[in-house]
Structure 1
Amino acid sequence: MKVNWRRLYAVTQIIGVVGGISIGGAGFYSVIIIGLCRKVIGLGDSISVFAIGLPFFIILLLIFIKHLPKPLRKAGMLSDEPEKFGPWFKQDPKP
């Protein structure tokens, strides 16, 4: 058995790019929501961070992970379609 390095690279690229952008975006919007809760509403630190900010971060992270691959693929940031991955370990067809 041989490792198909092209497919492994594509999967690693998708996990890295989508994961990084999702964590960054969810963190950015969560910090804004936490700041608004502290300054505008007047909530304490622990309530605004753990009761509002953390669940908001987790929900946004899941939404971004689910919906970001298609726009990133359109923008050219992801190289392969997921249908092209196939099995992880398989022998390349010999000509």
Structure 2
Amino acid sequence: MNWRRLYATTQIWLVVCLASAFGAGCWAFIAAGICRITFNLGDNQAMLLVFFPLFIILLLIFIKHLPKPLRKAGMLSDAPEKFGPWFKQDSKP
């Protein structure tokens, strides 16, 4: 594996994992807040019983399904040549 492909793979995994963690955290936080208000749970109970399990489940689901929408949005690239001018090959005569 050359360093360009390693950079591309690292970029893809970093973007997917960060976007998944952010999305799962937001949805789990909202669900924990709704459950806390609805069922009169304390802060610790809402976090332990609702937030953490839902966060782990959503994180795994988002990691599995999020790369396709991110590619359509243009946030992920397949080819390392698309990452910037420092990856362009020098043409030798």
Q: Same fold (TM over 0.5)?
A: yes
- Give 1:24 shift: 0.3
Could you say what the CA RMSD is over the residues aligned between the two structures, in angstroms?
A: 1.3
Equivalent position of 1:14 in the other structure? 12
Runs of 4+ in 1 over 2 A off after TM superposition: none
Deviation per residue, 1:67-87 (Å, 9 max, x gap): 001111111111117xxxxxx
Aligned residues: percent identity?
61
- Give 1:51 shift: 1.2
Equivalences for 1:1-95 in 2 at 5 Å? 4-80=2-78
Question: CA separation in 2, counterparts of 1:19 and 1:78?
Answer: 12
Task: Kindly tell me the number of residue pairs found equivalent between the two proteins.
Answer: 79
- Give 1:5 shift: 1.7
Question: CA separation in 1, counterparts of 2:36 and 2:66?
Answer: 30
Q: What TM-score, normalized to structure 1?
A: 0.77
